């Protein structure tokens, strides 16, 4: 049974995109949430799958994003899993390739399933911390798109991705990507709020 918080989240996400249906499940022990986005154009049964991982890296109130200069797109660092990779391996590799930073995943906080046409896309979202600098390794396509890492204020990123519906008539791909990132950052904020509340309650109990 969904909690009241989950009902509010469900209502918020559904209002953002009336053509999609969301189902939310959570594990209260691990604070891991699973969100399903059922696109209006989905087929009755999916026949193809694609899995990937993305990182939420926040330092001093700023979040690390990848910025495609040619298209103007902003995204969380990450990408598709390669054969034999775990979600953790994938996010470490993708962040290094796209940003030149070596990170350590500290928490898997969200799994997001998206259903569009014949596809089910599964994204694993991790909170990551920067360990040290490495070497970027962009693909030729990414170089042509002008992909580069940039730190921007976390609240600016949430505001940016919250406007995903503005792209509904321009690019369904961009609308869906920004919606995905928006959900991830909202869950990240809820995760931090829950952790702070837990620490406050634990401190009060000990006193």
- φ/ψ (deg, to 5) at 2: -75, 145
List of the chain residues with pLDDT < 50: 1-29, 195-207
CATH number of the domain encompassing residue 35 = 3.90.79.10
Number of domains in the chain: 1
Note the pLDDT of residue 59. 96
**pLDDT tens digit sequence for 168-199:** 888 888 888 999 999 999 999 988 775 443 34
Note the pLDDT of residue 32. 76
pTM strictly above 0.85: no
Note the pLDDT of residue 31. 60
Note the pLDDT of residue 10. 42
Domain enclosing residue 41, as ranges: 4-206
**pLDDT tens digit sequence for 129-153:** 999 999 999 999 999 999 999 999 9
Note the pLDDT of residue 194. 52
- φ/ψ (deg, to 5) at 132: -165, 175
Nearest to 115, CA basis, from 17, 46, 16 = 46
Note the pLDDT of residue 100. 97
How far apart CA 41 and CA 47 sit, in angstroms, is: 14
């Amino acid at each position: 049974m969904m909690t009241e918080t989950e009902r509010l989240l469900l209502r918020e996400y559904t209002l953002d995109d009336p053509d999609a249906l969301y189902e939310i499940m959570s594990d209260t022990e691990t604070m891991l949430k699973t969100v399903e986005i059922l696109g209006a154009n989905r087929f009755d049964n999916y026949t193809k799958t694609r899995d990937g991982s993305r990182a939420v890296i926040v330092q001093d109130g700023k979040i690390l994003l990848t910025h495609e200069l040619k298209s103007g797109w902003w995204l969380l660092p990450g990408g598709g899993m390669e054969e034999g990779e775990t979600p953790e391996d994938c996010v470490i590799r993708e962040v290094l390739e796209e940003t030149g930073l070596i990170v350590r995943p500290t928490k898997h906080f969200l799994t997001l399933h998206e259903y569009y046409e014949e596809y089910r896309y599964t994204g694993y979202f991790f909170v990551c911390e920067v360990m040290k600098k490495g070497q970027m390794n962009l693909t030729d396509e990414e170089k042509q798109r002008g992909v580069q890492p940039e730190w921007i204020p976390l609240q600016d990123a949430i505001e940016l991705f919250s406007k995903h519906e503005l792209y509904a008539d321009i690019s369904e791909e961009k609308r869906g990507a920004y919606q995905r990132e928006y959900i991830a950052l909202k869950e990240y904020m809820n995760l931090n709020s829950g952790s702070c509340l837990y620490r406050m309650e634990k401190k009060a109990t000990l006193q």
